[in-house]
Amino acid sequence: MSVGTAANRHGAAASKALPPVAIVIFGGGGDLASRKLVPALYNLFLDGWLPDRFAVIGSDRKLLDDDAYRRHLREGVDAFSRRGRADDATWSTFAKHLGFLSLDFATASAAETLVKRLDATDTALGGQAIRVFYFAVPPNVTPTITARLGPALAGGAERVRIVAEKPFGRDLASARALTKTLTHVVTERQIYRIDHYLGKETVQNILAFRFANSLFEPIWNRRYIDHVQLTVAEDVGVEHRGGYYDSVGALRDMVQNHLLQLLCLIAMEPPLSFNADEIRNKKVDVLRAIRPIDPAHLAEVAIRGQYGAGVSEGPPVPGYREEPNVAPDSATETFAAVKFFVDNWRWEHVPFYVRTGKRLPAKASEISIQFHPAPHQMFPPAAIEHWQPNRLAIRVQPSEGILLRFQAKHPGPVMHLDPVDMLFSYAGAFRVPSPEAYETLLLDVMRGDATLFMRDDQVDAAWSVVTPMLDAWSAERPTDFPNYPAGTWGPEAADQLLRRDGRRWMLPTTLDPPEPAPPS
Ligand code: BG6
């Protein structure tokens, strides 16, 4: 995590001073490389963050030559970069750093071919490059590749880094096995487990908001906070990823990683320093404090759903079971809502409600902190008919920012209160575009800063929270799937989950501007 911004020229100059870097992307012919990784590297290049001497080698079983690979990546940049189409001259300068290497790790010669290419890259870069091996492959392929990597790993912790994409395993046991496979060839310090939510500016800003300001910390506890809601809603369906998603589901895909990481940032104790291990220690404390869920009472705290056909943004869309590569009787959840408790002094009895789903009405990720009502209500009932509890909303996306909702007197001769918003918006305050999460994370790997990556004990603790739920759900087939139409906020049972507690899900504030009523 950089101490600075993308616009910080001193930071960029420091990056120039980085030693040469060679990034090998396993699965380099896949979607992640063309949609996210290479557009992110290209933007880092444009902003002057990459070292002068760098090489990116996409590796895959497919047979491509360097030129065909570069053309493929250019299409990805044009389609998916936050900056839109690449400029021809700049792209061709950048593209000189890109190459392709066809490798089939099922064959013993793969290791030798890789080492030869890396040695040649060192020569071309004029020094021993830092080697970043990016595993953009399904976790079941990782052991085969890792077993052959040995000779390419020479140079130890200072030189070699492994980046592991999510999903990191599919449950506690497989995540542990994966860590064991990796730590057989490198040390834990060399492993960078990606959770791209941690690279989002708004997510990093939670640390700044909480720990660089004294205003909110005194009220950041059970005495003032009634409950916390975390919503990560997507309007898209499973798209072209049915084959992957159908064996995964929302709990594994989103809750185990992104949502629990957001919860950690909200619930963690103040770190002593801005140090990777210190911050990760504080986060792991939260995961360990999450109250274990009793599988026998799972339905009281966790709800699953699957979308059926419906209407999303206009045209009718098919149900999940009709999506390509999804089983027609699939029991995979596309929606999950869970009530967690963090059993420690600060958060005793404060529920953290999290929900995520595909084909919900909008793409909106928001953390809402709802405060207790004022202890004594002195206003007459007519004045407070629109009263709402104080709410602090951290907008992760879209309209990134932080919003504080409180009551104000409506102008006019009668006392009438309406909720109003105080808004900090990134776009308005900083007037510089935010980098994509992968830009931040890739740069951190090159710099050797692991703050925003998941350490083995974090992954272990997160899977420990989620695995009993996964087991209980897979043991009992849902009988009501599909149970929410596309374009709605999930199954009715998710609403009941909060209603039982006398609460309700709050709409993300981007969809729910306060509408002051005219005074009577
Ligand atoms: C990924 C999930 O980790 O996050 C996807 O695998 C999901 O299913 C995506 O769509 C959401 O990320 P973002 O950044 O678009 O909110």
Q: Please give the chain's pLDDT, 520 residues, in tens.
A: 654 444 444 455 556 678 899 999 999 999 999 999 999 999 999 999 999 999 999 999 888 899 999 999 999 999 999 999 999 999 999 999 999 999 988 888 898 999 999 999 999 999 999 999 999 998 888 999 998 888 888 888 889 999 999 889 999 999 999 999 999 999 999 999 999 999 999 999 999 999 999 999 999 999 999 999 999 999 999 988 999 999 999 999 999 999 999 999 999 999 999 888 999 999 999 999 999 999 999 999 999 999 999 987 778 999 999 999 999 999 999 999 999 999 999 999 999 999 999 999 999 999 999 999 988 889 988 898 888 899 999 999 998 999 999 999 999 999 999 999 999 999 999 988 889 999 999 999 999 999 999 999 999 999 999 999 999 999 999 999 999 999 999 999 999 999 999 999 999 998 887 765 555 5
Q: What are phi and psi of 189, to 5 degrees?
A: -60, -25
Nearest one of 71, 105, 66, 104 to 88, comparing CA atoms? 71
Sign for the pseudo-dihedral over CA of 313, 315, 319, 320 = negative
Do residues 361 and 508 lie in contact, with contact meaning Cβ atoms separated by under 8 Å? no
Name the residue of 194, 234, 396 whose CB sits within 8 Å of the most ligand 1 atoms, as the mutation to test its pocket. 234
d(CA 359, CA 366): 17
Tell me the three state secondary structure of residue 8.
Answer: coil
Is residue 372 part of the annotated active site? The answer reads no
Q: What is the CA(156)–ligand 1 centre distance, in A?
A: 33
Strands 302-305 and 225-233: unpaired
Do residues 210 and 220 lie in contact, with contact meaning Cβ atoms separated by under 8 Å? yes
**The pTM is what?**
0.93
Taking each helix axis from N to C end, the angle separating 456-475 and 260-267, rounded to the nearest 10 degrees, works out to: 130
Q: What is the CA(251)–ligand 1 centre distance, in A?
A: 12
Q: Which of 72, 196, 227, 258 is catalytic?
A: 258
Q: What is the CA(68)–ligand 1 centre distance, in A?
A: 28
Spell out the residues 6+ positions from residue 92 whose beta carbon is closer than 8 angstroms to its own.
Answer: none
Name the residue of 196, 238, 365, 441 whose CB sits within 8 Å of the most ligand 1 atoms, as the mutation to test its pocket. 196
